[in-house]
Amino acid sequence: MLWDYIFVGGGLSASVVSNRLHHLDPALKILVIEAGANANNDPSIIYPNSTNLIGGEYDWKYQTIPQVHLDNRQFDFDLWGDTVGDHRWSYAGLLPYMKLTETAPVHDPAEHGSKGPMHIQGIVSTNREFPLRNKTLQSWQAVGVHPLPNNDGNAGNPLGIGDLFENKIQGRREIADNVFNLAGITVLTETLVSKILLSTPKSHHQSPEATGVQLVNGTKIQGKEIILAAGAIRTAQLLMLSGIGPSDELHKFKIPVVLNQPEVGKNFADHGLFGALWSLKDPSAGYAIGSSNPLFNEPQYGWGTPADFLVSTGITDKAGLAAAIEKDEGKKPDPKKHPLLKRDRTFNEHVFQYAGTPDGSAVTFALINLLPTSRGSVTLKSANINDVPNIDPNYHATEVDKFVAREGIRLQIAFANSNATVIGRDIIAGELGAPGFNETFTTKSTDAYIDARIAAGLGSTFHPMGTAAMGKVVDTNLRVKGINKLRIVDTSVFPVVITAHLQVATYATAYQAADIIYNSNKCSK
């Protein structure tokens, strides 16, 4: 059988694009190949918390190589559009697709959808404000961070205090391939693709063409167009195993070079995550999950992350940021032209979570670096698809990233360990420290101590992106440059860092991808 489209990867991107293509033309023969099992009825998937899947059967258990360094979102998308020279990938170009995706609890027709398939729940809309909500809000304001209009951090400008929103209905996760029905689409689960099948050009004037995929068992499946949706790590690996990538990398493992593409696997970025535990002065007051507070027995308090707000902040010390940029780039930056200086950007996200220890005696403060300037790579470990590739996010390789993280931690210290805030005065006893360190975070913490703590404790938010960047590896129609009939529709194609959790950007990319693919093939008929 010759499929019209073969998708490699069955996650969010493939679910949305295949569903939309089938909706536009039900006669299309579409195959989705997913390496994992169907877990849509597993309670740990349907009702996830932040840890119950890590290391489990649905986790690829990716490990990074040892790390030696350890303005707003509208602007991010406009930078994307400018970088690739295509307005479709700007904020204005992607916003209609973002709105098509959602049914939001916030009434703001200019920025949010109200009839989309994905439902969004908020703290207020689910009636689960936490006991420390007002004190938390007051404390953020005391350190110079202020509420956003309607407490909405998802309306283009997130700098400030926004309510926490999640893609759930009464705690039940909205899974892409449930919401975007795959009826009429053939799905193979627990099936691993080992490489893309590529034709040999008949002349130097022609490009290789993707003709199908080969499974690990040797089975070959033919398709008119192959669409990679395996994620920023596996997509890069699969390209290289198929002979598309840096020639020196392919030669190491005796992989025939079909296309020397040095940028495959490069430009890898991830949002670094650092968390610290802070003890409560009076655990019996019932401020945290795990305490005896009967409020937490109400079902809605188990429906999502135990936090009231997502707080996004920029950098107030512009001179310090400029000095860090100069160290990285070797010259003084022009504050009117440099993308990190010419306007306020979202550098850090803070999540003050009312949970930390099983007995409710501590809370967690998480810091996420949303705008890393460090870039890493995905490279091959072997020529075997079963061997997870080398994953190097290259966290904190730049002075800018270190400076930004220090600024974020110092703001959290001011919030939680200062008499200037009600949380610092009345609620928090102090930070609990970390193994191997003889001191804790205080207002007297040195840069060296903060750097050391972050280097020891920084982890991933699992937001990989950029390894097949648009403009370098794919064009603005998502076609792999130099290869016919091969596209990529996942976060690999993001050419710039998106200073947000990647779900909405991925949905918008997938929606637009479906329109691009359908219209381009419709025109070619």
**Catalytic positions, please?**
463, 501
CA dist list (Å): 443 to 310, 313, 416, 504:
23, 19, 10, 37
Judge whether 270 and 233 are in contact, CB under 8 Å: no
Q: Does residue 351 have a known ligand-binding role?
A: no
Q: How many residues does the chain have?
A: 525
Lookup result for tokens 């992350």: 305
DSSP 151: G
Phi-psi region of 72 (alpha: psi -120 to 50; beta: other; left: phi over 0): left
Cα–Cα distance for residue pair 211/208, rounded to 1 Å:
9
Q: Cα 439 from chain centroid?
A: 32
Residue type, 44: S
Half-sphere exposure (CA, 13 Å, Cβ side) for 226?
A: 29
Cα–Cα distance for residue pair 359/138, rounded to 1 Å:
26
DSSP 149: G
Cα–Cα distance for residue pair 124/122, rounded to 1 Å:
5
State in Å, rounded, how far the first CA of the chain is from the last one. 20
* Residue set of the binding site for FAD: 193
* Residue set of the binding site: 193
